[in-house]
A = this chain, B = another copy of it.
């Protein structure tokens, strides 16, 4: 049971380890696309958000959906998805 808090930009940054005095502008620069976080910060932000890093880079909504969901499946369900893909590709690839 994952819990979903509502975070401000600033609080998200603080939770990811940014100095509280700098978290607000820094997070805002990320959200508005003015600057981008380095790989370590990207990783930490994703951990706080509970999504894989790849999720941030999904331009397509369906792909984003798949990435976010797959990461939280148990092993058995992951294997189910993977074997379905195998099957589709063996028929059409």
User: Which residues of B are found within 8 Å of A52, using beta-carbon distances?
Assistant: 57-60, 63
Q: What mask results when residues 46 to 80 of chain A are scored 1 for a CB within 8 Å of chain B, else 0?
A: 00000011111111101101110111011001101
Would A63 and B71 be within 8 Å (CB), given that A77-B88, A84-B81 are in contact?
yes
Pick the residue among B36, B57, B71, B89 that contacts A69 (CB under 8 A). Answer: B89
Chain A binding surface, main DSSP class: helix
Would A81 and B63 be within 8 Å (CB), given that A57-B53, A57-B54, A73-B88 are in contact?
no
| Contact assessment for B59 and A70 in the assembled complex, using a CB-CB cutoff below 8 Å | no
Would A66 and B88 be within 8 Å (CB), given that A53-B57, A54-B57 are in contact?
no
